Copies of this chain bind each other. A is one copy, B any other.
């Protein structure tokens, strides 16, 4: 892959996508939304807005096909995946990784690509 134009800057220094996909509660794979992902994403968005950092973006996303680990988010461009279940988890990811640049190891999800749902 080619490099971008000389001097081009990334739009977002940190771009977070939180899965908010919601399946019926009876679905065998479950879903991030059904496990609280939507409310947690909204909470994280509010934190991001309160921060006022335009180069950090928190976004909702559709199903990222790692439902078994959910609720999940992925942080780009580093491609770090987190599982988060509480506001305290979100606070820790925001403070530690998104702002502080230090990965929150206890919440990192290690996903083996070979196990992705086909």
Contacts and interface: CB of A to CB of B under 8 A. Distances in A.
B57 A11 contact: no
A84 to B, nearest CB: 17
Q: How large is the interface on A (under 10, 10 to 19, 20 to 34, 35 or more residues)?
A: 35 or more
Copies in the complex: 2
A46 interface: no
A27 interface: no
10 contacts: A8-B110, A9-B112, A9-B113, A10-B79, A11-B113, A17-B59, A54-B113, A55-B116, A59-B62, A77-B79
Given A11-B79, A11-B111, A77-B79, 4 more contacts: A9-B113, A11-B66, A11-B74, A54-B113
